[in-house]
Amino acid sequence: MARKWWQDEVIYQIYPKSFRDSNGDGIGDIRGITEKLDYLEDLGVTMLWICPIYQSPMDDNGYDVSDYMALAPEFGDMDDLDELIREADKRNIKIMMDLVINHSSDEHEWFQKALEDPESRYHDYYIFKEGNERPNNWRSIFGGSVWEKVPGRDEYYYHTFGKKQPDLNWENEELRKVLFDMVNWWLDRGIAGFRIDAISFIKKDLTWSDREPDGVDRLAKCTKATRNMPGIGEFLTELKEETFARHRCVTVAEAAGVPYEKMGEFIGENGYFDMIFDFRYADLDIASGSEWFKRLPWTVKELEEKIMASQMIMQKYGWPANFIENHDQPRAASKYLKEAQDNKDAVKMMGAMYFFLRGVPFIYQGQELGMVNFERTSMEQFNDLSSIDQYQRSLEEGLSGEEALRIVNLRSRDNARTPFPWNAEKYGGFTEGTPWLNMTEEYPRINAEAQKGKEGSIYEFYKEMIAFRQHGPYSRTLIEGNIEPVRSGEDVISYRRFTEEESIYCLFNFSGKERTETLPNTGMVPIWGNLEQTHMNGKTIKLQPYQAVLIKENE
């Protein structure tokens, strides 16, 4: 694969509502991001992915866009965004926007006009079906039927996600053209590219036929009929040719469920996108089908197998976007390390494990501080519409209120959405007002001020790790090198990064106990790690609890 400029990036994801509030209304904003650019530059990241900042009623915190070419006033205006792009550029930081084109908000002018007048051109921008009962039994991602009745008419509209997120009808050529013009308009404004939301859902099964029910609600998960359906490639090719291919930009697809054998179509040399997120390893504890609410047990070996299977497929076809956290996932420290979530060595080890995989690393805000989940004690403390739905569905499945709350706590998207803790002061310096969502209880201890410039902190570790990948003596191998799995004991994840000239073994001990591994050769040299000492003797290495170490093979 020919080298691409964006392979060198380290991308930092910002959830704008929770990053930094510059005007005291309790909601983070664009100026807040600009204020914190020095922090991001110090950390060493090279691009920001900013979750949606478009005009929106915020039912799904911006993933419900009511005007694609205007910004949400609570986040700021176009001047603020231009200033952010300019100021970021001075620090060699690029800006990636979120692109939400599977659905809009029901408050979008198009949808409002479609409701007002079924004869209007906008009616066909969405998916309506006439009748006085639901056209089929598909369940939306956020629960309940995918169909919502149009008030006052014998008609239903379709939504893959929430009720206030009607799906756009990609079968309509005029709509596609309007979307493409909008995408080009943004790219012309100087943004570096897009993370593209829920893009595997744009093609539906046009027979709209019922599926086998898979829950007590007698509905069937809609993904079976709406995700990666035959024909999606035509839409995606057109999207690419009419927009991305005309600009120097980078695209990352949130395209869940793409079968591995189709990865080439998505991210191959002539793929629809540059990179893709693979959720298979992140979903390793999520049960599917009628037992969806269960949390599956998993082992370190299973995590390793899933990660490496993904890496090998991606290597065959293209380039992955690697992550352990985002705004839809629980905090990685809590999820993957469980009772060791407060162990700094463990948090650093986990960070390094995914960071040196082949691909572009994504860091979610607060991950660099080792932030943890926020256990809520009642449903009133949640904002996320998916958590509220999961609670209701758990009760319907027969779980007690206590069990339902436990499940929601483990999974909730609000775990990662708590406001960013800048310091130990009131509301962590996030806002001078009252934050829209509670801070985590740990913020007096886990915050940026307590870690930045402090030796041994998780922040300083991330900073050093980024610098080592970007500018260290082994940068070329760590960025461009190939990857292959390496056999190791049950609590250890290991892989090899290599070029023709250089070979680096990467070992990560997920256990709180010492673990002995055998290296392929004697005379190998440790080049980087999270602990001061590496205990090697001949071919034997005694990994200390939660040790991460990179070892170079001597030529």
Point out the residues that are catalytic.
197, 254
Nearer to ligand NOJ, 63 or 364 (CB): 63
Nearer to ligand NOJ, 57 or 472 (CB): 57
CB closest to ligand NOJ, residue no: 63
Q: Which amino acid is at 262?
A: K
Residues 41-60 binding ligand NOJ (CB under 6 A) are 60
Q: Which of 19, 49, 63, 430 binds ligand NOJ (CB under 6 A)?
A: 63
- β-bridge mates for residue 157, sequence order: 128, 148
Compute the least distance from the CB of residue 63 to ligand NOJ, in Å. 3
Compute the least distance from the CB of residue 552 to ligand NOJ, in Å. 38
Nearer to ligand NOJ, 420 or 461 (CB): 420
> Which pair of structure tokens corresponds to residue 136?
């089929």
Nearer to ligand NOJ, 243 or 326 (CB): 326
Nearer to ligand NOJ, 197 or 368 (CB): 197
User: Under a CB-based contact definition with an 8 Å cutoff, are residues 96 and 49 in contact?
Assistant: yes
Spatial separation of the C-alpha atoms in residues 29 and 38, rounded to whole Å: 16
User: Under a CB-based contact definition with an 8 Å cutoff, are residues 46 and 360 in contact?
Assistant: no
Closest CA to 88 of 39, 34, 19: 34
CA distances from residue 244 to 139, 198, 253, 258, 465 in whole angstroms, order as listed: 32, 17, 12, 20, 31
User: Under a CB-based contact definition with an 8 Å cutoff, are residues 279 and 266 in contact?
Assistant: no
Residue 197 found at the interface with ligand NOJ (CB under 6 A): yes
Compute the least distance from the CB of residue 336 to ligand NOJ, in Å. 20
- β-bridge mates for residue 397, sequence order: none
Residue 100 found at the interface with ligand NOJ (CB under 6 A): yes
User: Under a CB-based contact definition with an 8 Å cutoff, are residues 414 and 420 in contact?
Assistant: no
Q: Which of 58, 85, 198, 405 binds ligand NOJ (CB under 6 A)?
A: 198
Residues 246-265 binding ligand NOJ (CB under 6 A) are 254
Nearer to ligand NOJ, 63 or 391 (CB): 63
CA distances from residue 507 to 313, 334, 355, 545 in whole angstroms, order as listed: 21, 21, 12, 12
How many residues of this chain interact with ligand NOJ, rule: CB under 6 A?
A: 9
User: Under a CB-based contact definition with an 8 Å cutoff, are residues 307 and 357 in contact?
Assistant: yes
Q: Which of 9, 59, 167, 328 binds ligand NOJ (CB under 6 A)?
A: 328
Spatial separation of the C-alpha atoms in residues 206 and 226, rounded to whole Å: 9
- β-bridge mates for residue 99, sequence order: 196
Nearer to ligand NOJ, 195 or 515 (CB): 195
Query: Binding string, 155-194, against ligand NOJ, x = CB under 6 A?
Result: ------x---------------------------------
Residue 74 found at the interface with ligand NOJ (CB under 6 A): no
Residue 337 found at the interface with ligand NOJ (CB under 6 A): no
Cα angle value 376/58/273 (rounded, 5°)? 100
Compute the least distance from the CB of residue 38 to ligand NOJ, in Å. 28
Nearer to ligand NOJ, 63 or 317 (CB): 63
Residue 278 found at the interface with ligand NOJ (CB under 6 A): no
Spatial separation of the C-alpha atoms in residues 103 and 127, rounded to whole Å: 10
- Following DSSP, what letter does each residue of 293-355 receive, concatenated? T-B----HHHHHHHHHHHHHHHHHH-EEEE-S--TTS--HHHHHHGGGTT-HHHHHHHHHHHH
> Which pair of structure tokens corresponds to residue 525?
């040299």
Neighbours of 1 (CB within 10 A): 12
Compute the least distance from the CB of residue 511 to ligand NOJ, in Å. 32
Q: Is 463 helix (H, G, I), strand (E, B) or coil?
A: helix
Compute the least distance from the CB of residue 197 to ligand NOJ, in Å. 5
Binding site for ligand NOJ (CB under 6 A): 60, 63, 100, 161, 197-198, 254, 327-328
